[in-house]
Amino acid sequence: MKFYDLDVKIADKIAYVLLDRPEANNSFNLNMAQELLYLANEFIEKDEVEVIVLGAKGDKFSHGISELDSQLTDELKQTINLTNEAIKAWAKIPFPVIASLQGECNSLGLSLASVADIRFAHIDATFSVPEVKKGLVPGGGITQRLPRIIGKGPAMSMLLSSEAVTAQTGLEWGLINKVVEMGDVWEVACNQGKRFVEMSTLSMQYTKECILRGSELSFEDGLRLELNMYMLLQTGFDRMEGVNAYLEKRPAIFKGR
């Protein structure tokens, strides 16, 4: 598929995905939503990619949907619905997703960033969900994911006040994993992706599933899920390779099986 509002490159089992509408502050339109949805489904179905690094061109990550201030036309309604579907699909990607964030990350842009497993932000980044002050309810799953990421109190503050928070505050709340003060946040995120792809992708996928599914289960059921995943990996190639590499004092070469 040819992409127009995304810049997509795949190399060495890493997918590098950039939102590519810098002239529109990387706001979502119908085509970008369609491309994001298509791409997520491709990643879910195929196994040639083991890590995704998600970022944006220009000095802002995304304003979400800029037309939210205008009248709700049929096209705008379709864009909102499709963007929600795309974000839901990205949340189902089984392997690690790393987000590189800079400038303003607002509204559905933050909803998309919230499905990433690791989030790096430049020191100048800000995060906000301004829907309430526009008389709207936030979308893209942010009312459910944000409290799970940063806790109910900080999430209430962000979602009800519509005020922007800084990268440093995001770091303190757990919204951001690392703040990059000097250098290129995209480069930092890509380097993390390269480190991930050297690890057992199967182990990372199972660990991610334990965390995400376990958060929706009771504590005891979550422990049971963890034990089941642990036992599943015991006889796999990657498990034996990890043991042998340790005993032979060499780097492990994982195969994802």
Q: What pLDDT, on the 0 to 100 scale, is given for residue 177? A: 97
Average pLDDT over residues 220-232: 81
Q: With a cut of 90, say whether residue 156 has pLDDT above it.
A: yes
Q: With a cut of 60, say whether residue 246 has pLDDT above it.
A: no
Q: With a cut of 90, say whether residue 201 has pLDDT above it.
A: no
Average pLDDT over residues 228-241: 68
| Residue scoring higher pLDDT (225 or 31) | 31
Q: If 0-12 CB within 10 Å is exposed, 13-18 middle and 19+ buried, where does residue 182 land?
A: exposed
Q: Tell me which residue of 64, 68, 85, 43 sits closest to 201, measured CA to CA.
A: 43
Q: Strands, E, within the chain: which ranges?
A: 6-11, 14-19, 51-56, 97-101, 104-106, 118-122, 126-128, 165-166, 178-180
Q: What pLDDT, on the 0 to 100 scale, is given for residue 154? A: 96
Report d(CA 62, CA 50) in Å as an integer.
25
Edge-to-edge strand ranges of the sheet holding 165-166: 104-106, 126-128, 165-166
Q: With a cut of 60, say whether residue 245 has pLDDT above it.
A: no
Residue pLDDT, tens place only, 42-64: 998 887 899 999 999 999 999 99
Q: Provide the mean pLDDT of the chain.
A: 88
Q: What pLDDT, on the 0 to 100 scale, is given for residue 255? A: 57
pLDDT bucket at 146, cuts 50 / 70 / 90:
very high
Residue pLDDT, tens place only, 91-131: 999 999 999 999 999 999 999 999 999 999 999 999 999 99
Tokens read off for 101: 């964030």
Q: With a cut of 70, say whether residue 249 has pLDDT above it.
A: no
How many residues can be counted in the chain? 257
Q: What pLDDT, on the 0 to 100 scale, is given for residue 183? A: 86
Q: What pLDDT, on the 0 to 100 scale, is given for residue 230? A: 74
**Three-state SS string across 20-58, please?**
CCHHHCCCCCHHHHHHHHHHHHHHHHCCCCCEEEEEECC
Q: What pLDDT, on the 0 to 100 scale, is given for residue 157? A: 95
Q: Are 123 and 168 in contact (CB under 8 A)?
A: yes
Domain ranges of the chain: 6-197, 201-247
Q: Tell me which residue of 193, 199, 203, 210 sits closest to 253, measured CA to CA.
A: 199
Q: What pLDDT, on the 0 to 100 scale, is given for residue 250? A: 55
**Per CATH, domain 6-197 is 3.40.50.970:** no
Predicted TM-score (pTM) of the model is: 0.86
